[in-house]
Amino acid sequence: MSKYRYSKVSGDASIREYISLEEDIDGEYTIVSKLNTPLHKIAIVEQEGNLLVYSGGYVMFSTTDDEDRYSEAMVHIAMAAAAKRKRVLIIGGGGGITTREALRYSDVRKITTLDLDEVIMKIGKKLEPVVAFNKGSLNHDKVKTVNEDGRKFLEETDKKWDVIILDLPEPSRKSVEVSRLYSVEFYSLLKERLNPGGAISIACSNGDSTPQYLWSIYATLRDAGFHVLPYYYLEEDDADDWLYCLATTSEVNPNDLSMVVSTKNLTTERLRQMFDLPYYLNIAKNTGKIQTDDNTVLVDIIDKAYYNFE
């Protein structure tokens, strides 16, 4: 991989194909590599000893402390809520960090990790700093990696899982088809592929700009027949709050959930606190709309929040 120094120049068209203005990096950084795949424009960026992997202009995963916090919240709530944890499915796990977290559980027997882009998966498997960060998770003997669309994979199998983790990009005008991984039809399929007592966690964007995004996923999951609990993770010194939904086949009381393993950032107390949503999220609860295969509910929310499209 070639390496060169890039001093940030706002609006530089040559780099804007890889790093969007919304995701601009403060200060100087090194672009380790720019890659064009059939699916994505990928930039691997090094800054202050960390790697950030951009896809379609936005950070897909990194080797930062933020990534630890995000992935712990993504994985351990569903693992705590599930009746069993023997079989885990991760859709959108090419960086291997969520897989690393799932491997903390001794009762996990098999993890299937999917990513549509083979190059992203190769980065998670072979790029040394990423492999060090994910502790070689994608090369672990309990892990099977698959390069395939998550919906197609589930439509063509009759296997079932105890825990399913959905860490997917937000749909946009450039990738409207991603909405099919958030639709009531897809969530109904997930319900068929979940064992009794199973649990699903779903990343739901940020609360400061898109609370309606969370509540639309919430409404869609409920329409598919799930019991749903929204939760969030916010560091006091961080500007962004990460939103998630926990979806289960039977009702769960957050106060009954406990951390089973030790992690950097989560305790049982912190886990339970994440279900206590702040006022600015709760007041938007009734704004959610149901995403289907045939509408653009989530794309419209993202467009309005980030691009001022009405």
For the question of residue 167 being annotated catalytic, the response is yes
Q: Is 43 in contact with 18 (CB distance < 8 Å)? A: yes
Identified catalytic residue from 115, 117, 162, 167: 167
Neighbours of 55 (CB within 10 A): 22
Q: Could you tell me the strand order of the sheet in which 227-234 lies?
A: 143-146, 110-114, 87-91, 161-166, 194-206, 241-248, 227-234
- Taking phi first (over 0 means left), then psi (-120 to 50 degrees means alpha), and beta for anything else, what does residue 206 get? beta
Residue type, 269: E
According to DSSP, the β-strands at 41-47 and 194-206 are unpaired
Q: Is 245 in contact with 73 (CB distance < 8 Å)? A: no
Nearest to 304 by CA among 179, 203, 210, 241: 210
Active site residues: 167
